[in-house]
Amino acid sequence: MEGNLFDIPGDLEKKFEKTISILDDHDRFRLITHYDADGISAGAVLSRTVMKYQKGFHTTFIDSFPEKVPKGSPIIFTDIGNSYLDRISEIEETVIVLDHHEVRDNNSSIPDLEDKVFINPHDHGIDGSQEVSGGTLALLLAITYDNTNWEEALYGLAGAAADKQAIGGFTGLNLQLLEASLDKGHLEKRTGLFIDGESIQNALMKACDPYFPGISGEKKKIKKILEDLEIDPDAKLESIGLEKKRKLNSLLVLSLLKRDIPVDVIESIYGTHYISPHDGLEVDILYKLLNSCARNDRPGLGLSLCLGDNKAFYEAKEIRDRYRKQMIENLKTLEERIEKKENIQYFYEEKKTRKGELAGLGMLYLLEQDMPVLGLTELDEDVDISARATKNMVEQGLDMGELCDRLAERLGGDGGGHDIAAGATVEKDKIDAFLKAMDEEVGKLLGSG
């Protein structure tokens, strides 16, 4: 261990020391990680790390705790686990849990077991919803294990960006890791719009994150806008002059200001891009590729591209292009699909893996900013719920993770997550009761009930 590299508490450092001892003492591991983009990021960092030291590994992606837990090797859970402390405590194998989600069950506490390590930033005064993600927690472990592992910065920070921790700029441990990566030359930076494509017109056609209502996906309107700005629609963004870039940025900012989009969201459409000099990939592009893989039930493809598979990289790009087109079509109709109660807004979405993204982007760019949004997907017997809030709501005391956990449990379901982004599952005949209870609780917390 290289010593306390960052401003982390000593008791957390001791947990890393114990984890490193486990890594040193074994030659094979089972890596079990969440299936979303941050989970892929965390799984990629640790897969690349154990592979570097010629240790065997098998990586599995999950959405909930597995019915059967693999035996025979130490298990590392990343970006998931804090909702299953009791079940993990019963596993016979040595277990490491790296999870930035808060423990919501009042009846659960972090166990103190000889063959288990539970690393949760919230237990050490670090905000896991804003200051560190699954990917950056895995990165912190990798560089603490060996200070030559800074090339993993790209993959770790992509996870933090995927969890929307870069909006308004990285903070906390994320920022410390970013700054150290830049200082050590493992990331470089440039400034520009956070859109990409074969041409400027193509980039705006595919722009769903950031999303520009009335512009994204509208070919004729985009062409007219670019002609008015005297910008060649077929030109690459990096090839046009600084003055034209400023004009385009100003127009896009104005389009969002007209919709009363929060300032920190508007500011995030233009800023610093962080690029790995090792392979030319940038954090923003990588997280969007991983997100597209996750949302299309292909987390394994995301891992493959992180492990250097060029075929996987190009396949992921194709998936991302299709996914962006689908998302834009969904976003265009989202406002029409919104139903409202007094204090919450919600919509139904057929595809489970898409509703969270729709809820998140809708909350950022389309929907009313004074009430959280819930995306609902009907399954065979249950309704799967994704809930999103804004930073302003969280600052007023709203905690969607706590509400999803408590209200779902009251109705025989389960839930949890972060204060700003969370989820739950309840039986179909309980969804009306869940929405009613959520509406009442949000009203109490935000002062309208």
Six token digits for residue 420: 């700003």
Spatial separation of the C-alpha atoms in residues 94 and 29, rounded to whole Å: 10
Q: Are residues 131 and 215 in the same domain?
A: no
168 and 32 inside one domain: yes
Q: Residue 262: which pLDDT band, with cuts at 50, 70 and 90?
A: confident
The residue behind tokens 């806008």 is 225
- Name the pLDDT band for 449 (thresholds 50, 70, 90): low
Do 35 and 106 fall into the same domain?
yes
Percent of the chain having pLDDT more than 90? Answer: 83
Q: Residue 4 pLDDT > 90, yes or no?
A: no
| Stretch (H or E) spanning 34 | strand 28-34
Domain of residue 439 covers: 338-446
> Given a cut of 90, is residue 332 above it in pLDDT?
yes
The domain boundary residue, chosen from 184, 199, 215: 184
Buried b (16+ CB within 10 A) or exposed e, 115-146: ebbbbbbbbeebbbbbbbbbbbbbbbbbbbbe
How confident is the model at residue 106, as a pLDDT? 52
Task: Return the minimum-mean-pLDDT range out of 262-266, 399-403, 421-425.
Answer: 262-266
Are 268 and 361 in a shared domain? no
| Per-residue pLDDT tens digits for 100-152 | 998 866 545 566 678 999 999 998 999 999 999 999 999 999 999 999 999 99
pLDDT value at 227 more than 60: yes
Residues 173 and 43 grouped into a single domain: yes
- Rounded-to-integer distance, Cα 170 and Cα 153, Å: 14
How many independent structural domains does the chain possess? 3
Q: Establish if 207 belongs to a structural domain.
A: yes
Asked if residue 2 belongs to a domain, the reply is no
Q: Is there a domain that residue 3 lies in? A: no
Three-class secondary structure of residue 438 per DSSP: helix
Q: Is 271 exposed, middle or buried (0-12, 13-18, 19+ CB in 10 A)?
A: middle
**Residue ending a domain, choose from 283, 303, 329:** 329
Which of 286, 303, 329 is the last residue before a domain boundary?
A: 329
pLDDT confidence of 67, banded at 50, 70, 90?
A: confident
52 in a structural domain: yes
Examine residue 219 and state whether it is found in any structural domain, yes or no: yes
pLDDT at site 3? 44
Q: How confident is the model at residue 1 (pLDDT cuts 50, 70, 90)?
A: very low
The verdict on 236 and 362 lying in the same domain is no
207 & 95 share domain: no
| 4 occurs within a structural domain | no
Mean pLDDT, rounded, for 242-246: 93
Could you tell me if residue 5 is inside a domain?
no
Average pLDDT, the chain: 93
pLDDT digits 0-9 by tens, 84-95: 888 998 999 999
My answer on whether omega of the bond before 210 falls inside 30° of 0, hence cis, is yes
The residue-averaged pLDDT of 309-319 equals 97
Reading the block at residue 225, the tokens are 């806008």
Angstrom distance (rounded) from CA 162 to CA 18: 29
Q: pTM of this prediction?
A: 0.90
Residues 101 and 117 in one domain: yes
Domain CATH code at residue 144: 3.90.1640.30
26 within 8 A of 73, measured Cβ to Cβ: yes
Kindly tell me if the per-residue pLDDT of 83 is higher than 90. Answer: no
Please, where are the H alpha helices in 146-232?
153-162, 172-183, 200-205, 219-228
- Do 20 and 93 lie in one domain? The reply is yes
Q: Tell me, yes or no, whether 377 and 440 share the same domain.
A: yes
Shared-domain flag, residues 171 and 210? no
In this structure, are 30 and 175 located in the same domain? yes
Residue 380 sits in a domain of what CATH number?
Answer: 3.10.310.40
Mean pLDDT along residues 367-374? 95
> Is residue 49 a contact partner of residue 152, using CB atoms and an 8 Å limit?
yes
Whether residue 157 lies inside any domain: the answer is yes
Secondary structure of residue 363 in the 3-state scheme: helix
- At 286-300, the pLDDT tens digits run 999 999 999 999 999
| Contact in structure between 15 and 126 (CB atoms under 8 Å) | no
